Homo-oligomer: A and B are copies of this chain.
Amino acid sequence: MESAIDTHLKCPRTLSRRVPEEYQPPFPMWVARASEQLQQVVMAYLGVQYRGEAQRDAALQVMRHIVGSFSLADGPQTHDLTHHTDSSGFDNLIVVGYWKDPAAHCRWLRSSQVNDWWSSPDRLCEGLGYFREITAPRAEQFETLYAFQDNLPGVGAVMDATSDEIEEHGYWGSMRDRFPISQTDWMKPASELQVIAGDPAQGGRVVVLGHDNLTLIRSGQDWADAEADERSLYLDEILPTLQDGMDFLRDNGQPLGCYSNRFVRNIDLDGNFLDVSYNIGHWRSVEKLERWAESHPTHLRIFVTFFRVAAGLKKLRLYHEVSVSDAKNQIFEYINCHPHTGMLRDAVAAPA
Protein backbone atom coordinates (compact mmCIF):
# COMPACT_ATOMS: atom_id res chain seq x y z
CA MET A 1 0.00 0.00 0.00
CA GLU A 2 1.34 3.40 -0.91
CA SER A 3 0.15 6.94 -1.36
CA ALA A 4 -1.46 7.91 -4.65
CA ILE A 5 0.90 10.87 -4.57
CA ASP A 6 4.25 9.73 -5.90
CA THR A 7 7.29 10.21 -3.69
CA HIS A 8 8.87 12.91 -5.81
CA LEU A 9 5.61 14.89 -5.78
CA LYS A 10 5.21 14.86 -2.00
CA CYS A 11 5.72 18.14 -0.21
CA PRO A 12 5.06 19.56 3.25
CA ARG A 13 1.32 19.90 3.56
CA THR A 14 -0.52 23.10 4.35
CA LEU A 15 -3.84 21.32 3.71
CA SER A 16 -4.67 17.98 5.27
CA ARG A 17 -6.05 15.02 3.42
CA ARG A 18 -9.55 14.01 4.39
CA VAL A 19 -8.96 10.66 6.06
CA PRO A 20 -6.74 9.76 9.00
CA GLU A 21 -3.57 7.73 8.59
CA GLU A 22 -5.24 4.52 9.68
CA TYR A 23 -7.75 4.65 6.80
CA GLN A 24 -7.91 1.39 4.88
CA PRO A 25 -9.58 1.31 1.46
CA PRO A 26 -12.25 -1.36 1.03
CA PHE A 27 -10.76 -2.86 -2.17
CA PRO A 28 -7.60 -2.36 -4.25
CA MET A 29 -7.15 0.37 -6.86
CA TRP A 30 -4.07 1.65 -8.67
CA VAL A 31 -2.71 4.84 -10.22
CA ALA A 32 -0.32 5.56 -13.07
CA ARG A 33 3.26 6.44 -12.22
CA ALA A 34 5.80 8.45 -14.17
CA SER A 35 9.41 9.32 -13.61
CA GLU A 36 10.43 12.75 -12.42
CA GLN A 37 11.19 13.60 -16.04
CA LEU A 38 7.48 13.86 -16.72
CA GLN A 39 6.69 17.39 -15.62
CA GLN A 40 3.65 18.20 -17.71
CA VAL A 41 1.36 16.33 -20.09
CA VAL A 42 -0.84 17.53 -22.93
CA MET A 43 -4.37 16.26 -23.47
CA ALA A 44 -5.71 17.30 -26.86
CA TYR A 45 -9.36 16.77 -27.76
CA LEU A 46 -9.57 17.48 -31.49
CA GLY A 47 -13.10 17.43 -32.77
CA VAL A 48 -15.08 17.29 -35.97
CA GLN A 49 -18.74 18.22 -35.77
CA TYR A 50 -21.30 17.13 -38.34
CA ARG A 51 -24.96 16.32 -38.65
CA GLY A 52 -26.25 12.93 -39.63
CA GLU A 53 -25.44 10.22 -42.10
CA ALA A 54 -25.00 12.55 -45.07
CA GLN A 55 -21.93 14.18 -43.55
CA ARG A 56 -20.52 11.12 -41.87
CA ASP A 57 -18.03 10.12 -44.54
CA ALA A 58 -16.68 13.63 -44.84
CA ALA A 59 -16.31 13.89 -41.08
CA LEU A 60 -14.56 10.52 -40.86
CA GLN A 61 -12.25 11.67 -43.62
CA VAL A 62 -11.26 14.69 -41.53
CA MET A 63 -10.83 12.50 -38.47
CA ARG A 64 -8.44 10.31 -40.42
CA HIS A 65 -6.61 13.40 -41.61
CA ILE A 66 -6.07 14.46 -38.00
CA VAL A 67 -4.92 10.97 -37.06
CA GLY A 68 -2.55 11.13 -40.00
CA SER A 69 -1.10 14.36 -38.67
CA PHE A 70 -0.17 12.51 -35.48
CA SER A 71 2.47 10.71 -37.52
CA LEU A 72 4.23 13.98 -38.21
CA ALA A 73 7.25 14.90 -36.14
CA ASP A 74 6.41 15.57 -32.48
CA GLY A 75 3.04 13.84 -32.64
CA PRO A 76 1.42 12.39 -29.53
CA GLN A 77 2.50 9.17 -27.83
CA THR A 78 -1.01 7.74 -27.82
CA HIS A 79 -4.45 8.57 -29.10
CA ASP A 80 -7.95 7.20 -29.39
CA LEU A 81 -11.03 8.00 -31.44
CA THR A 82 -14.58 8.61 -30.30
CA HIS A 83 -18.08 9.45 -31.47
CA HIS A 84 -20.95 11.03 -29.60
CA THR A 85 -24.21 12.77 -30.35
CA ASP A 86 -24.56 15.99 -28.40
CA SER A 87 -27.52 17.74 -26.80
CA SER A 88 -28.14 19.73 -29.97
CA GLY A 89 -28.41 16.57 -32.01
CA PHE A 90 -25.06 16.97 -33.75
CA ASP A 91 -22.61 14.16 -34.25
CA ASN A 92 -19.08 14.69 -33.05
CA LEU A 93 -15.91 12.77 -33.70
CA ILE A 94 -13.06 13.47 -31.34
CA VAL A 95 -9.46 12.45 -31.79
CA VAL A 96 -7.84 12.46 -28.38
CA GLY A 97 -4.07 12.64 -28.25
CA TYR A 98 -1.70 12.66 -25.28
CA TRP A 99 1.80 14.09 -25.21
CA LYS A 100 4.24 13.70 -22.36
CA ASP A 101 6.33 16.62 -23.59
CA PRO A 102 4.54 19.96 -23.91
CA ALA A 103 7.37 21.34 -26.03
CA ALA A 104 6.87 18.57 -28.55
CA HIS A 105 3.16 19.26 -28.59
CA CYS A 106 3.86 22.92 -29.15
CA ARG A 107 6.14 22.16 -32.07
CA TRP A 108 3.53 19.80 -33.51
CA LEU A 109 0.74 22.33 -33.16
CA ARG A 110 2.85 25.03 -34.79
CA SER A 111 4.11 22.82 -37.59
CA SER A 112 3.02 24.14 -40.94
CA GLN A 113 0.99 21.04 -41.79
CA VAL A 114 -1.03 21.22 -38.61
CA ASN A 115 -1.25 24.96 -38.32
CA ASP A 116 -2.01 25.56 -41.98
CA TRP A 117 -4.86 23.08 -41.93
CA TRP A 118 -6.45 24.66 -38.86
CA SER A 119 -5.90 28.21 -40.12
CA SER A 120 -7.03 27.63 -43.67
CA PRO A 121 -10.10 29.56 -44.85
CA ASP A 122 -11.25 26.24 -46.30
CA ARG A 123 -12.27 25.17 -42.79
CA LEU A 124 -14.97 27.83 -42.80
CA CYS A 125 -16.80 26.58 -45.84
CA GLU A 126 -16.82 22.80 -45.65
CA GLY A 127 -20.12 22.48 -43.84
CA LEU A 128 -18.42 20.80 -40.90
CA GLY A 129 -17.49 22.13 -37.47
CA TYR A 130 -14.09 21.75 -35.90
CA PHE A 131 -12.80 22.28 -32.42
CA ARG A 132 -9.72 21.82 -30.37
CA GLU A 133 -9.82 21.68 -26.62
CA ILE A 134 -6.34 21.23 -25.29
CA THR A 135 -5.14 21.34 -21.71
CA ALA A 136 -1.67 20.78 -20.35
CA PRO A 137 -1.71 19.93 -16.64
CA ARG A 138 1.57 19.79 -14.79
CA ALA A 139 2.46 16.57 -13.00
CA GLU A 140 1.04 17.88 -9.74
CA GLN A 141 -2.21 18.88 -11.46
CA PHE A 142 -3.66 15.51 -12.37
CA GLU A 143 -4.60 12.24 -10.79
CA THR A 144 -5.59 8.83 -12.12
CA LEU A 145 -7.44 5.82 -10.76
CA TYR A 146 -7.70 2.36 -12.27
CA ALA A 147 -9.46 -0.81 -11.17
CA PHE A 148 -6.83 -2.74 -13.15
CA GLN A 149 -3.08 -2.73 -13.57
CA ASP A 150 -2.18 -3.36 -17.21
CA ASN A 151 -2.32 -1.37 -20.45
CA LEU A 152 -3.44 1.85 -18.85
CA PRO A 153 -5.58 3.96 -21.19
CA GLY A 154 -5.65 7.74 -21.50
CA VAL A 155 -2.89 9.65 -19.78
CA GLY A 156 -1.72 6.40 -18.20
CA ALA A 157 -0.56 5.31 -21.65
CA VAL A 158 2.08 8.04 -21.74
CA MET A 159 3.29 7.29 -18.25
CA ASP A 160 5.82 4.71 -17.17
CA ALA A 161 4.27 2.24 -14.77
CA THR A 162 1.42 1.25 -12.51
CA SER A 163 1.60 1.86 -8.78
CA ASP A 164 1.18 -0.61 -5.98
CA GLU A 165 -2.27 -0.55 -4.35
CA ILE A 166 -2.93 3.00 -3.26
CA GLU A 167 -4.45 4.36 -0.07
CA GLU A 168 -6.49 7.32 -1.23
CA HIS A 169 -9.61 5.88 -2.78
CA GLY A 170 -13.00 4.57 -1.73
CA TYR A 171 -14.09 7.71 0.08
CA TRP A 172 -15.58 11.02 -1.05
CA GLY A 173 -12.76 13.47 -1.33
CA SER A 174 -10.21 10.87 -2.40
CA MET A 175 -10.08 12.36 -5.91
CA ARG A 176 -8.87 15.64 -4.42
CA ASP A 177 -6.51 13.82 -2.10
CA ARG A 178 -4.84 12.06 -5.05
CA PHE A 179 -3.91 15.39 -6.66
CA PRO A 180 -0.34 16.20 -5.60
CA ILE A 181 -1.21 19.90 -5.69
CA SER A 182 -3.98 19.37 -3.13
CA GLN A 183 -1.27 19.13 -0.49
CA THR A 184 -0.99 22.90 -0.59
CA ASP A 185 -3.67 24.29 -2.91
CA TRP A 186 -7.48 24.35 -2.96
CA MET A 187 -7.54 24.39 -6.78
CA LYS A 188 -9.94 27.31 -6.80
CA PRO A 189 -11.30 28.59 -10.10
CA ALA A 190 -10.07 32.10 -10.77
CA SER A 191 -12.56 33.59 -13.21
CA GLU A 192 -15.21 32.72 -15.82
CA LEU A 193 -14.96 31.24 -19.27
CA GLN A 194 -14.69 34.16 -21.69
CA VAL A 195 -15.24 34.45 -25.41
CA ILE A 196 -12.18 36.38 -26.52
CA ALA A 197 -12.61 36.13 -30.28
CA GLY A 198 -15.64 35.60 -32.47
CA ASP A 199 -19.25 35.08 -31.50
CA PRO A 200 -20.63 31.61 -30.80
CA ALA A 201 -24.05 32.63 -32.10
CA GLN A 202 -22.53 33.58 -35.45
CA GLY A 203 -20.41 30.48 -35.97
CA GLY A 204 -17.11 30.98 -37.70
CA ARG A 205 -13.99 31.06 -35.58
CA VAL A 206 -14.44 31.42 -31.85
CA VAL A 207 -11.79 31.40 -29.16
CA VAL A 208 -12.64 30.89 -25.50
CA LEU A 209 -10.31 31.79 -22.68
CA GLY A 210 -10.41 29.22 -19.91
CA HIS A 211 -9.45 29.86 -16.33
CA ASP A 212 -7.10 28.46 -13.74
CA ASN A 213 -8.20 25.15 -12.28
CA LEU A 214 -10.76 24.41 -14.92
CA THR A 215 -11.26 20.70 -14.35
CA LEU A 216 -11.32 17.89 -16.89
CA ILE A 217 -12.46 14.39 -16.05
CA ARG A 218 -12.19 11.39 -18.33
CA SER A 219 -14.04 8.47 -16.83
CA GLY A 220 -13.86 5.26 -18.82
CA GLN A 221 -15.36 1.84 -19.35
CA ASP A 222 -13.91 -0.97 -21.44
CA TRP A 223 -15.97 -4.14 -21.78
CA ALA A 224 -14.30 -5.41 -24.95
CA ASP A 225 -12.70 -8.41 -23.28
CA ALA A 226 -15.31 -8.93 -20.58
CA GLU A 227 -17.01 -12.30 -20.27
CA ALA A 228 -20.79 -12.57 -20.36
CA ASP A 229 -21.25 -11.93 -16.63
CA GLU A 230 -19.24 -8.72 -16.66
CA ARG A 231 -20.76 -7.56 -19.95
CA SER A 232 -24.14 -7.95 -18.34
CA LEU A 233 -22.95 -6.21 -15.18
CA TYR A 234 -21.82 -3.27 -17.26
CA LEU A 235 -24.47 -3.15 -19.97
CA ASP A 236 -27.51 -4.09 -17.90
CA GLU A 237 -26.68 -2.80 -14.44
CA ILE A 238 -24.13 0.01 -14.64
CA LEU A 239 -24.74 1.55 -18.07
CA PRO A 240 -28.41 2.54 -17.73
CA THR A 241 -27.69 4.51 -14.57
CA LEU A 242 -24.45 5.88 -15.99
CA GLN A 243 -26.29 7.00 -19.12
CA ASP A 244 -28.92 8.73 -16.96
CA GLY A 245 -26.25 10.52 -14.97
CA MET A 246 -24.27 11.59 -18.01
CA ASP A 247 -27.41 12.74 -19.85
CA PHE A 248 -28.36 14.71 -16.76
CA LEU A 249 -25.02 16.49 -16.73
CA ARG A 250 -25.10 17.11 -20.46
CA ASP A 251 -28.53 18.74 -20.24
CA ASN A 252 -28.57 20.20 -16.73
CA GLY A 253 -24.95 20.74 -15.82
CA GLN A 254 -24.73 24.49 -16.19
CA PRO A 255 -26.02 25.55 -12.75
CA LEU A 256 -23.87 22.85 -11.16
CA GLY A 257 -20.64 24.10 -12.70
CA CYS A 258 -20.42 21.45 -15.41
CA TYR A 259 -19.46 23.30 -18.58
CA SER A 260 -19.69 20.35 -20.92
CA ASN A 261 -20.38 16.65 -20.64
CA ARG A 262 -19.86 14.20 -23.47
CA PHE A 263 -20.41 10.49 -23.06
CA VAL A 264 -18.41 9.18 -26.00
CA ARG A 265 -18.06 5.77 -27.61
CA ASN A 266 -14.72 4.67 -28.95
CA ILE A 267 -14.57 3.94 -32.67
CA ASP A 268 -12.05 2.66 -35.15
CA LEU A 269 -10.74 4.62 -38.15
CA ASP A 270 -13.80 3.62 -40.15
CA GLY A 271 -16.18 4.80 -37.47
CA ASN A 272 -17.18 1.35 -36.23
CA PHE A 273 -18.10 1.24 -32.55
CA LEU A 274 -15.75 -0.49 -30.15
CA ASP A 275 -16.83 -1.90 -26.79
CA VAL A 276 -15.04 0.96 -25.10
CA SER A 277 -16.40 4.30 -23.96
CA TYR A 278 -15.71 7.19 -21.69
CA ASN A 279 -17.19 10.36 -20.42
CA ILE A 280 -15.46 13.69 -20.98
CA GLY A 281 -16.53 16.27 -18.43
CA HIS A 282 -15.32 19.85 -18.17
CA TRP A 283 -16.06 21.51 -14.83
CA ARG A 284 -15.59 24.88 -13.27
CA SER A 285 -13.65 23.29 -10.41
CA VAL A 286 -12.83 20.07 -8.64
CA GLU A 287 -15.16 21.27 -5.90
CA LYS A 288 -18.15 21.48 -8.25
CA LEU A 289 -17.36 18.01 -9.57
CA GLU A 290 -17.10 16.70 -6.01
CA ARG A 291 -20.47 18.15 -5.05
CA TRP A 292 -22.22 16.51 -7.98
CA ALA A 293 -20.47 13.18 -7.68
CA GLU A 294 -21.21 12.75 -4.01
CA SER A 295 -24.82 13.85 -4.05
CA HIS A 296 -26.48 12.95 -7.34
CA PRO A 297 -28.63 9.81 -7.16
CA THR A 298 -27.25 8.39 -10.40
CA HIS A 299 -23.65 8.71 -9.35
CA LEU A 300 -24.37 7.37 -5.88
CA ARG A 301 -26.03 4.33 -7.44
CA ILE A 302 -23.01 3.74 -9.66
CA PHE A 303 -20.73 4.19 -6.67
CA VAL A 304 -22.68 1.63 -4.64
CA THR A 305 -22.60 -0.86 -7.50
CA PHE A 306 -18.90 -0.28 -8.03
CA PHE A 307 -18.20 -0.79 -4.32
CA ARG A 308 -20.05 -4.08 -4.48
CA VAL A 309 -18.27 -5.47 -7.53
CA ALA A 310 -14.88 -3.73 -7.55
CA ALA A 311 -12.88 -6.40 -5.78
CA GLY A 312 -14.13 -9.09 -8.16
CA LEU A 313 -13.69 -7.40 -11.54
CA LYS A 314 -11.72 -9.48 -14.04
CA LYS A 315 -11.96 -8.10 -17.58
CA LEU A 316 -14.28 -5.14 -17.23
CA ARG A 317 -11.97 -2.14 -17.09
CA LEU A 318 -13.14 0.97 -15.21
CA TYR A 319 -10.97 4.00 -14.57
CA HIS A 320 -10.79 7.74 -14.53
CA GLU A 321 -8.32 10.59 -14.82
CA VAL A 322 -8.94 14.09 -13.54
CA SER A 323 -6.85 17.17 -14.15
CA VAL A 324 -6.83 20.86 -13.50
CA SER A 325 -4.73 23.27 -15.51
CA ASP A 326 -3.68 26.88 -15.67
CA ALA A 327 -5.57 29.16 -18.05
CA LYS A 328 -2.31 29.76 -19.88
CA ASN A 329 -2.07 26.04 -20.57
CA GLN A 330 -5.54 25.76 -22.11
CA ILE A 331 -6.70 26.14 -25.70
CA PHE A 332 -10.41 26.23 -26.56
CA GLU A 333 -10.96 27.03 -30.21
CA TYR A 334 -14.00 26.39 -32.38
CA ILE A 335 -14.74 26.70 -36.07
CA ASN A 336 -18.36 26.70 -37.21
CA CYS A 337 -19.52 24.74 -34.17
CA HIS A 338 -23.02 25.18 -32.83
CA PRO A 339 -23.19 27.53 -29.83
CA HIS A 340 -23.62 24.77 -27.25
CA THR A 341 -20.42 23.02 -28.21
CA GLY A 342 -17.84 22.46 -25.49
CA MET A 343 -17.02 25.64 -23.59
CA LEU A 344 -19.18 27.83 -25.85
CA ARG A 345 -22.43 27.44 -23.95
CA ASP A 346 -21.13 28.83 -20.67
CA ALA A 347 -18.55 31.32 -21.92
CA VAL A 348 -19.44 34.94 -21.32
CA ALA A 349 -18.57 37.79 -23.63
CA ALA A 350 -15.27 39.36 -22.67
CA PRO A 351 -15.58 42.78 -21.01
CA ALA A 352 -15.36 45.51 -23.62
Contacts and interface: CB of A to CB of B under 8 A. Distances in A.
30 contacts: A14-B16, A15-B16, A16-B16, A18-B18, A18-B173, A19-B287, A20-B186, A20-B188, A20-B287, A21-B186, A22-B188, A22-B287, A23-B287, A26-B295, A170-B295, A171-B172, A171-B290, A171-B291, A171-B294, A171-B295, A172-B172, A172-B173, A172-B294, A173-B173, A294-B294, A295-B303, A295-B304, A295-B307, A297-B304, A300-B303
A296 to B, nearest CB: 8
A230 B186 CA distance: 40
Contacts of A171: 172, 290-291, 294-295
A156 B171 CA distance: 30
A307 B23 CA distance: 27
Interface residues of A, number: 26
A211 to B, nearest CB: 14
Interface in A302-345: 303-304, 307
A287 B19 CA distance: 7
Contacts of A188: 20, 22
Instruction: Name the prevailing secondary structure of the A interface residues.
Output: loop
A252 to B, nearest CB: 14
Interface string A10-38: 00001110111111001000000000000
Interface string A173-191: 1000000000000101000
Contacts of A297: 304
Interface in A149-203: 170-173, 186, 188
Contacts of A16: 14-16
Given A16-B16, A20-B186, A20-B287, 11 more contacts: A18-B18, A18-B173, A22-B188, A22-B287, A23-B287, A170-B295, A171-B172, A171-B290, A171-B291, A294-B294, A300-B303
Report which residue of A18, A21, A173, A294 has the largest number of chain B beta carbons within 10 angstroms of its beta carbon: A18
